[in-house]
Amino acid sequence: MIMRVWRGWTRAEDAAAYERYLLATGYVGYTSTEGNRGVCFTRRDVGERAEFLLTSLWESWEAIGAFAGDDPSRAVFYDEDDRFLVERELTVTHHEVFAAT
């Protein structure tokens, strides 16, 4: 199994709206892709910003490719991300999962 990790930041006042937006876009995109084995979307408020950490579990590189396209290291963005994000990682990290519950 492979864990995919991405981070992005919004203004604190936009955090709740971005949560709703992520659930309607990213969450659906991740979980409706065959080979996805789970997601965890988290938020941490830090001063005037909110940090979002998204992790997802995938059964194979092929499954990640079905979600992310030809370059699995590139982050996937949705139409209105520019409206919310003040900073974002353009790439993701991948980690081989060797133990999980």
pLDDT tens, 45-62? 999 999 999 999 999 999
Residue 21 lies in a domain: yes
Classify residue 76 by burial, with Cβ atoms within 10 Å: 0-12, 13-18, 19+: middle
Domains contained in the chain, number: 1
Q: pLDDT band at residue 21, thresholds of 50, 70 and 90?
A: very high
Task: Give, as one character, the DSSP assignment of residue 65.
Answer: H
> How far apart, in whole angstroms, are the C-alpha atoms of residue 38 and residue 8?
19
Model pTM score = 0.94
Residue 20 lies in a domain: yes
Mean pLDDT along residues 59-68: 97
Q: Which of helix, strand or coil describes residue 54? A: strand
> How far apart, in whole angstroms, are the C-alpha atoms of residue 59 and residue 90?
23
Q: CA end-to-end span of the chain, whole Å?
A: 12
Q: Residue 83 belongs to a domain with what CATH number? A: 3.30.70.100
Residue 101 lies in a domain: no
Domain range for 31 is 2-96
